[in-house]
Amino acid sequence: MKRKLPLGLQTFREIREGGYYYVDKTGYIRRLVDGGKHYFLSRPRRFGKSLLVDTIKELFEGSAELFEGLAAEAHPVLSAGHPVVRLDFSGADFTRPESLHRNAMAQLGTLERRACVVGEHDGASERFAHLIQTLRERSGHPVAVLVDEYDKPILDALEKPAVARANRDFLRGLYGTVKFCDADIRFTLLTGVSKFSKVNLFSGLNNLIDITLDPRYSAICGYTEADLDAVFAPELPGLNRDEIRDWYDGYSWRGDERVYNPFDVLLLFDTREFKAHWFETGTPKFLIDTLLSRGFGAPPLDGVVASDAMLSAFDVDDIAAEALLFQTGYLTISGTEYHRGRMQYRLGYPNREVRQSLNESLLDRLTGDRAHRERRSDDLYDLLRANDFDGMEKLFQSFFAGVPHQWHMRNDIAAYEGYYASVFHAHFLALGTELEVTVEDSGSRGRVDMAVRFNDNVYLFEFKVVEKDPTGAAMTQLKDKGYADKYRYLGWPIHLIGVEFSKKTRNVVALDAEPA
């Protein structure tokens, strides 16, 4: 039977009482409540964190009627009626000095009024502690502390480092209250997008259990394949299941099963259209600027290897591009391995939406002309289909000629091969899944810079930067290394494409193509 789609809803009570679809996550909540005390969870935006927090709030407040038929319906917490202190930083702008202090004090004031508690302190940390202690004394039960979007005051201000650092320092004191009030607290959960360094933000709260990459909680947010079958079965007829997977599945936090982006799935069921629903709701400008300033695609984003320490090293003055992309949902874990006793993660694009849209956004930012980029993408598709390599050379020459001079002045990477190669990568990756694009594809005699399979053809690209004039070195390497041998079993035409860029003109000076 069809139910209402919970589009934009983050309130557990409204979903349960309003006849909406609900994917039961209360089994995970039971495990959390029974297994520990202070938790931290990072997930990308619009992945259901706020609904998770609100569900936990209702559990501790004893709203037993909302949990009937769910995994947590008989949990002892429901009969205890614990006080709940919930802070939510999702709804304000924290780019100005003092805006965080005002917001925190306003939230604490609202909580005090609702609980009929008289604030006795001017400082936010002291006021927070007094509220927790008073609620414990009055009720006789320890308090549940929930913080939603704990990191937004820092992320909002990343382009203003002084404000971001001040916000971080304020939050360090505020969150340290949880450890100070440990005896008065039954349960704590902090959720957000990023995982800031414990040293710089959580030095006063070093007893948090981080479940971000705990395989037991990998599907605590998002929809699994089984969820689509069991909960959303009435919505599936008329939609291609493989296409749903291709567009929106693929997120992994080390669990056995990957999860779908819930925001995308709900909008797909509502509109019946495959679009970049999640990506279009707000990819941060800071993310694109950071990638461009660091030479996006070199090394390639898809297939990058990151250590556990790298993914956790996230702070105002130290943001690894890999950590930024992973924590914000633009890369996900595609595999794990141990190297010299340390866990390493291989990262990759989760799905078509992210792969295609992120590369389109990178190209848009380079030229500042989205309409031109879209026309160029259509032209590239047609040129590749026709094997028109002369036309392809002219198209890329036109693109590089259109990159603003001031962009080159701000970015040293334009002098290096990785920058030019990454522009090609982005163009081909943005064309969609009809093309199978592999960057730095390994063979027995080395790695070809880019391999593309499309329309029963194989295209092997090698990129070189020259001082001024073409040298033929790119084509020579393609032949000498025998890169084509790996693909001969397909029985398809194989095209060797050597591309050379001039340091002086900052443009393509040769795009040579020969059959293998």
Asked whether residue 84 is domain-assigned, the answer is yes
What does the pLDDT read at residue 444?
73
For residues 239-255, give the mean pLDDT.
95
Do 190 and 229 have their domain in common?
Answer: no
| Alpha-carbon gap, residue 30 to 50, rounded angstroms | 17
What does the pLDDT read at residue 493?
97
Boundary residue ending a domain (178, 199, 217): 217
What does the pLDDT read at residue 294?
66
pTM confidence score:
0.89
Query: Quick check: 368 pLDDT over 70?
Result: no
Do 34 and 83 have their domain in common?
Answer: yes
Burial (CB count <10 Å: 0-12, 13-18, 19+), residue 209? middle
What does the pLDDT read at residue 405?
61
Burial (CB count <10 Å: 0-12, 13-18, 19+), residue 33? buried
Location of structure tokens 């190669």: 421
Q: What is the chain's mean pLDDT, rounded? A: 90
Specify the higher pLDDT residue, 324 or 73: 73
pLDDT digits 0-9 by tens, 120-166: 898 999 999 999 999 999 999 999 999 999 999 998 998 899 999 99
Do 230 and 199 have their domain in common?
Answer: no
Confirm if 118 and 170 have CB atoms less than 8 A apart. no
Query: Quick check: 198 pLDDT over 80?
Result: no
**Confidence band, pLDDT 50/70/90 cuts, at residue 445:** confident
What does the pLDDT read at residue 316?
79
For residues 58-77, give the mean pLDDT.
97
Boundary residue ending a domain (177, 197, 217): 217
**Confidence band, pLDDT 50/70/90 cuts, at residue 411:** low
Do 232 and 187 have their domain in common?
Answer: no
Residues 6+ apart with CB under 8 A from 388: 382
Asked whether residue 415 is domain-assigned, the answer is yes
Which percentage of the chain shows pLDDT scores above 70? 93
Sheet hosting strand 332-339, strand order edge to edge: 305-307, 342-348, 332-339
Cis peptide before 299 (omega within 30 of 0): yes
Do 153 and 244 have their domain in common?
Answer: no
Query: Quick check: 367 pLDDT over 90?
Result: no
Asked whether residue 344 is domain-assigned, the answer is no
Do 187 and 272 have their domain in common?
Answer: no
What does the pLDDT read at residue 516?
94
| Alpha-carbon gap, residue 447 to 459, rounded angstroms | 14
Do 246 and 199 have their domain in common?
Answer: no
Asked whether residue 336 is domain-assigned, the answer is no
Give DSSP secondary structure letters for 173-193: HHHHHHHHTGGGEEEEEEEES
Query: Quick check: 342 pLDDT over 90?
Result: no
Do 469 and 384 have their domain in common?
Answer: yes
3-state secondary structure 425-479: HHHHHCCCCCCEEEEEEEECCEEEEEEEEECCEEEEEEEEEECCCCCCHHHHHHH
Do 34 and 99 have their domain in common?
Answer: yes
Asked whether residue 85 is domain-assigned, the answer is yes
| Alpha-carbon gap, residue 480 to 105, rounded angstroms | 68
Asked whether residue 493 is domain-assigned, the answer is yes
- Looking from the CA of 130 toward its CB, the CA atoms found within 13 Å total 16
Do 258 and 403 have their domain in common?
Answer: no
Boundary residue ending a domain (178, 194, 217): 217
For residues 6-12, give the mean pLDDT.
96
For residues 231-238, give the mean pLDDT.
98
Cα-based torsion angle of the residue sequence 115, 119, 122, 123 in order, rounded to the nearest 10 degrees: -50
**Confidence band, pLDDT 50/70/90 cuts, at residue 298:** very low
For residues 254-283, give the mean pLDDT.
93
3-state helix, strand, coil in the chain (%, to 5): 45, 20, 35
Which percentage of the chain shows pLDDT scores above 90? 67
With CA atoms as reference, report the closest residue to 204 among 226, 235, 177: 177
Do 386 and 502 have their domain in common?
Answer: yes
What does the pLDDT read at residue 173?
92
Asked whether residue 6 is domain-assigned, the answer is no
Q: How many domains does the chain have?
A: 3
Tokens of 356: 């295609």
Q: From residue 368, how far is each of 361, 372, 374, 415, 464 by CA, in Å?
A: 10, 9, 12, 21, 26
What does the pLDDT read at residue 371?
74
Asked whether residue 398 is domain-assigned, the answer is yes
Residues 6+ apart with CB under 8 A from 110: none
**The pairing of beta strand 446-454 with beta strand 457-466:** antiparallel
Query: Quick check: 297 pLDDT over 80?
Result: no
CATH number of the domain encompassing residue 105: 3.40.50.300
Confirm if 472 and 464 have CB atoms less than 8 A apart. no
Do 134 and 177 have their domain in common?
Answer: yes
**Domain hosting residue 257, numbered range:** 225-280
| Alpha-carbon gap, residue 242 to 14, rounded angstroms | 32
**Confidence band, pLDDT 50/70/90 cuts, at residue 409:** very low
